[in-house]
């Protein structure tokens, strides 16, 4: 008969194999009484949403070096934080990050609430982040369910209902296993198991502490799980970006509106983006100029659509005033401050 998955078996595995991450207090240090800094746990969790550990590490280190405490981040200029976030994507996260840091600084004396409910009351913190911070930073027995955990639960229970319909069932399975002893380590242990052993392809079942309890392993179905509902094809949108250089080398940039895609980020002025099944958007040049259309488009994929951006460039004299945006001097312009789409456009348009 198959065993029941034992949280202790997973915790012993974690004690030996925990991944080292810049925001993590490992199991040994934790057992020695080191407590994680809730600011670092929260920052890492926000950064990790929709982004890989490998992509997040350098951003996390840069942020914590520049803003070591939540009160430092709360006091930062919006534009500085948006620029430091450039390239990580999902820019609403950066705007919410600032709102949350300011709420913690101003309303909680710089101290994060230590319960799920208290964390949920902060701006920009949803149920997932509240559970993760409550569990990892404060050792609350909260259940943390990310894609890794869903995969592990689907396999452990040989659950064939496809995601996303199976989310509720998988969460219930995860809740049933969450222990009251060491819940912070446990939350990280399940995620590590999913990331390193119970991987999407070729899970290393021979090394898995939960193999004796795994229904998919017993049935030989682990490679097919979790099942996923077929994805809808993403629509394609089109638009134009205007990359204007002044003869002294300055670039014409504008800060995008706070709401909407890439909200609050620096970018090239441009038209609306419309579906390719609709008429092309009206031209919206930010300055009077002779435009050259580049042979290549900037292409980028967002969560819900692909974008094809026509690039128009122009060189303008010193006395030409823009109708939108502002010139940024060549020595102050840092392509790294731009979101990925805008950087792709720059790479195609920059003088060689």
Task: List interacting residues with ligand SF4 (CB under 6 A).
Answer: 152, 155-156, 197-198, 203, 205, 208, 210-211, 214, 216-217, 222
Q: Which is nearer to ligand SF4, 46 or 216 (CB)?
A: 216
Q: Which is nearer to ligand SF4, 211 or 237 (CB)?
A: 211
Q: Which is nearer to ligand SF4, 135 or 156 (CB)?
A: 156
Least distance in angstroms from the C-beta of 156 to ligand SF4: 5
Q: Which is nearer to ligand SF4, 74 or 214 (CB)?
A: 214
Q: What is the spatial distance between Cα 68 and Cα 20, in angstroms, rounded to a whole number? A: 20
Q: Which is nearer to ligand SF4, 21 or 215 (CB)?
A: 215
Torsion of Cα atoms, 203 then 206 then 211 then 215, to 10°: 50
| C-beta of residue 225 within 8 angstroms of C-beta of residue 203 | no
Least distance in angstroms from the C-beta of 343 to ligand SF4: 38
Helix (H) or strand (E) run with residue 63 in it = helix 53-66
Residue 282: alpha-carbon gap to chain centroid: 33
Cis peptide before 226 (omega within 30 of 0): yes
Least distance in angstroms from the C-beta of 219 to ligand SF4: 10
**Active-site residue, selected from the candidate residues 45, 150, 159, 297:** 45
- DSSP 8-state symbol, 270: B
Q: What is the spatial distance between Cα 93 and Cα 67, in angstroms, rounded to a whole number? A: 17
Contacts of 175 (CB under 8 A, 6+ apart): 143
Least distance in angstroms from the C-beta of 4 to ligand SF4: 13
Is 45 tagged catalytic?
Answer: yes
Least distance in angstroms from the C-beta of 197 to ligand SF4: 5
Across 220-252, b (16+ Cβ under 10 Å) vs e yields ebbeebbeeeeeeeeeebbbbbbbbbbeeebbb
Helix (H) or strand (E) run with residue 98 in it = helix 92-107
Least distance in angstroms from the C-beta of 205 to ligand SF4: 3
Q: How many CB atoms lie within 10 A of CB 106?
A: 11
Q: Which is nearer to ligand SF4, 178 or 271 (CB)?
A: 178
CA distances from 328 to 78, 152, 251, 254, 268 (A): 17, 49, 5, 9, 11
Residues with active-site annotation = 45
């Amino acid at each position: 008969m198959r065993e029941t998955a034992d949280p202790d078996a997973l915790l012993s595995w974690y004690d030996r194999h925990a991944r080292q991450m810049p925001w993590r207090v490992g199991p040994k240090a934790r057992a020695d009484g080191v407590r994680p800094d809730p600011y670092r746990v929260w920052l890492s969790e926000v950064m990790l949403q929709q982004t890989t550990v490998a992509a997040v590490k350098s951003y996390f280190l840069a942020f914590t070096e520049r803003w070591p405490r939540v009160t430092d981040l709360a006091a930062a200029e919006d534009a500085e934080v948006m620029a430091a976030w450039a390239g990580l994507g999902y820019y609403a996260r950066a705007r919410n990050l600032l709102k949350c840091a300011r709420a913690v600084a101003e309303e909680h004396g710089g101290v994060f609430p230590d319960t799920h409910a208290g964390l949920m009351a902060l701006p920009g913190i949803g149920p997932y982040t509240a559970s993760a911070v409550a569990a990892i930073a404060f050792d609350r027995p909260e259940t943390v369910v990310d894609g890794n955990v869903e995969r592990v639960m689907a396999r452990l229970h040989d659950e064939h209902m496809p995601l996303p319909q199976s989310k509720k069932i998988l969460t219930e399975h995860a809740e049933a296993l969450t222990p009251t002893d060491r819940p912070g380590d446990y939350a990280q242990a399940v995620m590590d198991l999913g990331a390193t052993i119970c991987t999407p392809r070729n899970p290393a079942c021979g090394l898995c502490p939960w193999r004796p309890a795994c229904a998919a392993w017993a049935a030989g179905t682990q490679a097919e799980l979790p099942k996923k509902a077929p994805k809808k094809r993403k629509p394609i949108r089109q638009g134009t970006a205007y990359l204007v250089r002044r003869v002294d080398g300055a670039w014409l940039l504008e800060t995008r509106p706070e709401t909407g895609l890439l909200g609050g980020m620096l970018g090239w002025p441009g038209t609306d983006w419309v579906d390719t099944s609709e008429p092309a958007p009206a031209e919206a040049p930010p300055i009077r100029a002779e435009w050259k259309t580049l042979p290549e488009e900037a292409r980028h994929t967002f969560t819900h659509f692909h974008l094809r951006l026509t690039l128009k460039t122009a060189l303008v004299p010193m006395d030409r005033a823009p109708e939108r945006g502002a010139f940024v001097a060549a020595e102050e312009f840092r392509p790294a401050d731009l979101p990925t789409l805008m950087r792709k456009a720059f790479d195609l348009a920059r003088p060689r």
